[in-house]
Chains A and B, each alone.
Chain A
Amino acid sequence: MVMHSTRTDATVLIIDDEPEIRHVVRSALRSTVARVIDAVDGHTGLAAVRAQTPDLIVLDLGLPDQSGLDLCRSIRAYSLAPIVVLTARHIESDKVALLNAGADDYVTKPFSTSEFAARVAAQIRRARTARPGTSGVVETDGVSIDFTSRIATRDSRPIRLTPIEWAILRALTGDPGRVYTHQQLFDAVWAREFGDARQYLRVHITNLRRKIERDPTHPHVIITEPGAGYRFGIPMAQESA
């Protein structure tokens, strides 16, 4: 994965009880962020969140003093900074719980340092990017979506979208780069409607991809997070801004 990781002035807090992992994280981020501070357990981690107001928090789930889920929730009470979780479990069933507890992304051990750095950079960028709002125009990877005039184009050619596809795009672009769980998308698109319609979310996403992606099996606009949900690709054009 090629990422142009421009160094930011961000401060990253790493909460991990293993000194080796703290070292690895520190060295992986040295060319991405300005400052890395660390905490060895949940208690001191939470204190650091309040005192240092980091721009991003890297949290290891295997802390000795408290569960990662609880810590995520506690951090969210004080800070809106993105939380990237390090997990050793390769069971995806925990992902939704983590996302619901306020985590923004997760990396499974053993991770590649370049991929980890790219994810951290993406989350910092996401947190600093102004939300497009419901009236704005979202552009990414040759796709332009104008919610006001309800016009979508792929490489300047118009695309016809169904009302459900508009609703899915509107939900996902609310916070590009953020993972929306299946449940969150069900709720956003079908509101209080129950029954058969919801189970076809993935079919709608597949049809939508055929219209907006260059290659539907190498998606760049709507990205699948297995076992968790979907996220909208962060508009690269805005990165340098």
Chain B
Amino acid sequence: MAQLRSSAAKSVALWYGLLILATVIMYLARDRQESQAHVVLVYLLIVLGGSVSGGRPLGFTLAAASTILVSYYFQAPFDEFSLSKPVDAIVLSAFMATAATTTYLLVRAQEEAAEARARAEEIQRLSAEASHAAALREAARFKDILLASVSHDLRTPLTSIKALAQDAADSGDANSVIIVAQTERLSKMVAHLLDMSRVNAGAYPMSLEVNTVEDLAGAVVTEMMGANAADRVHVTIDYSAPALVGMFDFVETIRILTNLIDNALLYSPDSETVELSASRVGDWLQLDVADRGPGVPKDDVERIFEPFYRHAATSGTAPGTGLGLAIARSLAKAQGGTIEYAPRKGGGSVFTLRLPAVEDPGFQLDE
């Protein structure tokens, strides 16, 4: 800003200096001049120069000053203001008009040039941004391919190990039972790491559709059956009330709930079941996963949703990955939902998943 002001002051000094210098020279040569044309042209040049370097204010003031100077010093009778001949008046007004018009046009041309430059820069910036976005898309696609290939490379050997150990375990080998369990643990870790990297990649695509809680709970129970944990999950849904309907991504929500239930099972005594219940609260579907585990210390309530957090009392012994809750919360957030923790009455934890509800369309009766 200060620099701008000082450069404006410089051009004012320069062009007024030239104006004075030219006036002095032409004044000294005044008696030898035959017409006002030379004077007017010299002043016009100064006005144009001033306009170019100082813009409208300098151009117009130089034009006004030149008009006064022409009239005072160079139109007879000299050294006084009087328009004795009509031609003098014409010359003066022609000069004034020309000076003002050229000043105006010059400055406008300059402004338009500046605007065009700015527009060109903007276009350049936008095209740079567009190519950056294209690069990001390409990176995301590459990441997807990489994840698929890592996923394939990690899961294929796990498949053989698990299958062969299962065979041996079925024929009574106790060591193989442990290999099977550890392979399952490793598979879960691979799945969690892949989920985490997908979630971290941002702009996670969700397919939000009208779904029901019952359908979801059924799919979750089936999933737990695969992990031989279905009998430890107890689902409470009121079948006499209209179906609970929401707008959510079915597959990702299964993942959220299995993560919450896995976590609950992990921290609960083997004799205890984990309760999954659902209700409608205002505009939200509320899914509660309740356990009889040790609960979460007050200071750790927000930290449990951070990646790699482990409960202090169980760290090193609990076979979780420390990623389940972080993934669950990110997947909930990505579809406009939330996950909160609350202590359970009588001991344990309640993890509450909230998802946007949709009005039940009421198809219960014959249409």
Contact with B along A1-30 (1 / 0, CB 8 A): 100000000000000001011011001100
Contacting residues of chain A (133-156) with chain B, CB-CB under 8 angstroms: none
Residues in A with CB closer than 8 Å to B211 are 202
A20 closest partner in B (C-beta) = B160
The B interface, classified by DSSP as helix, strand, loop or mixed, is helix
Interface residue? B353 (CB, 8 A): no
Q: Does A73 count as interface, using CB distance less than 8 angstroms?
A: no
Instruction: Mark each residue of chain B from 190 to 224: 1 if its CB lies under 8 Å from any CB of chain A, else 0.
Output: 01001000000000000001111011011101100
Q: Is A224 an interface position by the 8 A CB rule? A: yes
Measured CA separation A160–B364 after assembly (Å): 10
Q: Using Cβ atoms and an 8 Å threshold, which residues of chain B touch A115?
A: 226
Establish whether residues B218 and A216, one from each chain, have CB atoms under 8 Å apart when the complex forms.
yes
Q: Looking at the complex, which one of A90, A110, A200, A227 makes contact with B250 (CB distance below 8 Å)? A: A227
**Cβ of A174 under 8 Å from chain B:** no
Residues of B within 8 A of A216 (CB): 214, 218, 237, 239
Q: A110-B159, A112-B162 known; A203 and B151 CB under 8 Å?
A: no
Q: Tell me if A238 is interfacial: C-beta within 8 Å of chain B.
A: no
Interface residues of B in 349-367 (CB under 8 A from A): 360-361, 363-367
A109 contacts the other chain (CB 8 A): yes
- Pairwise interchain contact A226-B152, C-beta atoms closer than 8 A: no
Q: Does A89 contact B (CB under 8 A)?
A: yes
A209 to B243, CA, bound (A): 11
Report if A110-B183 is in contact (Cβ < 8 Å); known contacts: A89-B148, A206-B215. yes
How many Å from the CB of A43 to the closest CB on chain B? 20
Closest B residue to A223 by CB, please name it.
Answer: B222
Interface pair B162/A21, CB less than 8 Å apart: no
Nearest B residue to A27, CB-CB: B167
Give residues of chain A (59-89) contacting chain B, Cβ–Cβ below 8 Å: 62, 88-89
Instruction: Judge if B45 is at the interface, Cβ distance under 8 Å.
Output: no
Closest to B180 in A: A112
Question: What is the minimal beta-carbon distance from B23 to any residue of chain A, in angstroms?
Answer: 82
The answer to whether A27 touches B367 (Cβ under 8 A) is no
Point out the residues of chain B lying under 8 angstroms from A219, CB to CB: 218
Bound Cα distance from A90 to B364, whole angstroms: 35
For the complex formed, measure the closest distance between the CB of A154 and the CB atoms of chain B, giving whole angstroms: 14
- Choose from B156, B237, B250, B365 the contact partner of A18 (Cβ within 8 Å): B156
- Is A210 close to B, CB under 8 A? yes
Cβ-defined contact, A28 with B239, below 8 A: no
- Complex Cα distance A210/B222, Å? 17
A210 surroundings in chain B (CB, below 8 A): 214, 239, 243
Please name the residue on chain B nearest to A94 by beta carbon.
B148
A239: chain B residues within 8 A (beta carbon): none
Any B CB within 8 A of the CB of A44: no
- A-facing residues in B140-163 (Cβ within 8 Å): 148, 151-152, 154-163
Contact present for A205 and B215 (CB under 8 Å): yes
Cross-chain contact B163 with A28 (CB below 8 angstroms):
yes
Nearest-neighbor residue (CB-CB) of B162 within chain A = A110
**Does B254 have its Cβ within 8 Å of any Cβ on chain A?**
yes
B-contacting residues, A188-213, CB 8 Å: 199-200, 202-207, 209-210
A24 to B163, CA, bound (A): 6
The residue of chain A having its C-beta at the shortest distance from the C-beta of B365 within the complex is A162
Q: Does B245 contact A (CB under 8 A)?
A: yes
A162 adjacent to B367 (CB under 8 Å)? yes
A217: interface (CB < 8 Å) = yes
In the docked arrangement, what's the CA distance between A5 and B236, Å?
33
A217 engages B160 (CB within 8 Å): no
- The answer to whether B237 and A113 have CB atoms under 8 Å apart is no
Given contacts A21-B156, A164-B367, whether A203 and B218 have CB atoms under 8 Å apart is no
Q: Are A224 and B367 in contact (CB under 8 A)?
A: no
**Do A23 and B217 touch across chains, with their CB atoms under 8 A apart?**
no
Asked if A217 and B212 sit within 8 Å, CB to CB, the answer is no
In chain A, what residue has the closest Cβ to B249?
A227
Interface residue from B187, B212, B243 paired with A110 (Cβ < 8 Å): B187
Cβ of A187 within 8 Å of any chain B Cβ, yes or no, is: no
Instruction: Judge whether B191 and A90 touch: CB under 8 Å.
Output: yes
A88 contacts B163, C-beta separation under 8 Å: no
CA distance in complex: A209, B212 (Å): 12
With both beta carbons as reference points, the residue of chain B lying nearest to A204 in the complex is identified as B363
Whether B96 is near chain A, meaning CB under 8 Å from some CB there, is: no
B235 at the interface (CB under 8 A from A): yes
Find out whether the CB atom of B363 lies under 8 angstroms from the CB atom of A164: yes
Report how far A199 CA is from B367 CA in the complex, Å.
Answer: 17
Least CB distance from A104 to B in Å reads 19
Contact A62 B215 (CB under 8 A): no
Question: Is B166's beta carbon under 8 Å from chain A?
Answer: yes
Seen from chain A, the residues whose Cβ lies within 8 Å of a Cβ on chain B are 1, 18, 20-21, 23-24, 27-28, 62, 88-90, 92, 109-115, 160, 162-164, 199-200, 202-207, 209-210, 216-219, 223-224, 226-227
List 27 A-B pairs, Cβ < 8 Å.
A18-B156, A20-B160, A88-B156, A92-B251, A109-B159, A110-B155, A110-B158, A110-B159, A110-B162, A110-B163, A111-B163, A112-B226, A113-B163, A200-B363, A203-B245, A203-B360, A207-B243, A209-B214, A209-B218, A216-B218, A217-B218, A217-B221, A217-B237, A224-B215, A224-B222, A226-B251, A227-B250
* Known contacts A111-B163, A202-B215; 8 further A-B pairs (Cβ under 8 A): A18-B156, A20-B159, A27-B167, A109-B156, A199-B209, A209-B218, A217-B221, A217-B237
